[in-house]
Amino acid sequence: MPNSKGAVRDDSRKTVSYFYDAAIGNFYYGIHHPMKPHRIRLTHSLILAYGLYRQMNVYRPRTASSLEMTRFHAHDYISFLKRVQADNEKFIGKVPSRNFNVGYSAEDCPAFEGLYKFCQLSTGGSISGALQLNTKMADIAINWAGGLHHAKKAEASGFCYVNDIVLAILELLKHHQRVLYVDIDVHHGDGVEEAFFTTDRVMTVSFHKYNGTFFPGTGHMNDIGVDRGKYYSVNVPLHDGIDDASYALIFEPVMEKVVQFYDPQAIVLQCGADSLAGDRLGCFNLSTVGHGKCVAYMKRFNRPLLLLGGGGYTIRNVARCWTNETAVALDAEISDSLPYSDYFEYYSPDYELHVRGSNQTNQNSPEYLEGVKHRVFENLRHLPFCPSVQFHPAPDDSYDMIDEYGIAIDTADPDIRIPKPVKDRIRESLVDILDREEGGALSCNRNRDVAPPICRNGLPVSSVRQAGGSKNVAPHLTLANGQPVAASKDPYAFD
């Protein structure tokens, strides 16, 4: 595979950061609305049940500010999102030209309770993931609450209000000359394509259904970008019923050529699960195995990789899909038999991880796919190899992630036994993970089983073994002020 200065290490298992806020599942679009944020909670529950959290760094994302959102979105639009609620939408959005396609008569994008907070959490996870890739704190960052690719600069669209993908890419561009965006949602990634339609610093590649009427109605093969962005927008229109074999036949050669010609320094992959078989709004016939192979294929290029969610409206299948793809990112083998979780009954009657394709007719003939592939390759031949950017000082990051954790710990309430910043940083002891892999079990002692790595430098605090024993001694912890906590004391008690 091609390599470049922006490549991450490929000689060992990659460092994966995972962003999740428990509040994300509380938001509710409406009783008849197909978008259910609860699917993120289902996904997280399966990730916990499989124990995948032990193999990655888990973070609660920082909520995005209005200043961060207006790096792409219009100020009056973000101000509107702050104010609109279900009980005032008829007054705020009464003038059709000023309702930004939110609430009132916009069925796709209702004004539900906590709308702005939902946007902050979804966007904050994607920006935080981009920051970790920029600072090399992670090789792969995951935010399944992100991937809302339809939102426009001053308009909501297709269940999406704030385009977290565009904002994350803008963050990545501070440290990377070229960013590749890949979209495997059944719907065209129109909001992201539109945002970067005139630039060569971002190449967008979308695999989607297109017939001129299927939402959002864009994504024709002839839409290739304009001005400096000409040929940097790649659209791969597909028909109903495409299965794993046909999808691989078009996805893998197209992405190999794109990476060969463009040589991106970072990759953003939108993993919309509405391309799975049996989705409420989708019409493709992919299994979770075929969908996950797209993630595995992009991971092979060894570039900083941001994995985001997206569509997906049969929520039990969404959870299965993104849990499997979390395991793919971790190079972890997990059983097809689902472990017991808080939402185990959602997966009846088979209680299996993988969603399999149906007997739906595949309307994508080999000849059609070969023709699409040929057209894409012809467009790529117009590209100069590896477009460059003139040297300029890198803009400041949105915020200093490492310093933020240190400040939060320094200012934590001493009257709370486990302050929230410390609780966010609790990590299972590495030695206990090794004990479990060797057939042992956790000691069930919180002071030994977990150790919060709360140093300002962001490095985990290591634990040690007792001489001649297999159990852990209480880990020695270091506070942000550099003072050690005695092992004999409760490491969570703050004087």
Structure tokens at 194: 């539109």
3-state secondary structure 309-349: CCCCCCHHHHHHHHHHHHHHHHCCCCCCECCCCCCHHHHCC
Annotated active-site residue 476? The verdict is no
Distances (CA, A) of 326 to 44, 142, 206, 430: 10, 8, 21, 20
CA distance 91 to 99: 10
CA distance 265 to 172: 9
CA distance 162 to 473: 47
The length of the chain, given as a count of residues: 495
Order across the sheet with 233-238: list the strands.
57-59, 16-19, 140-143, 305-308, 266-270, 179-183, 202-209, 233-238
374 Cβ contact partners less than 8 Å away, ≥ 6 residues apart:
none
Pair type for strands 140-143 and 305-308 = parallel
Structure tokens at 57: 């760094």
Q: Per the residue annotation, which of 44, 73, 149, 150 is the catalytic one?
A: 150
In the numeric block, the tokens 């999808």 are attached to: 247
SS3 (DSSP) at 207: strand
CB 187 within 8 A of CB 158: yes
Q: Which of 422, 436, 434, 440 is nearest to 477 (CA)?
A: 422
Residues tagged active-site: 150
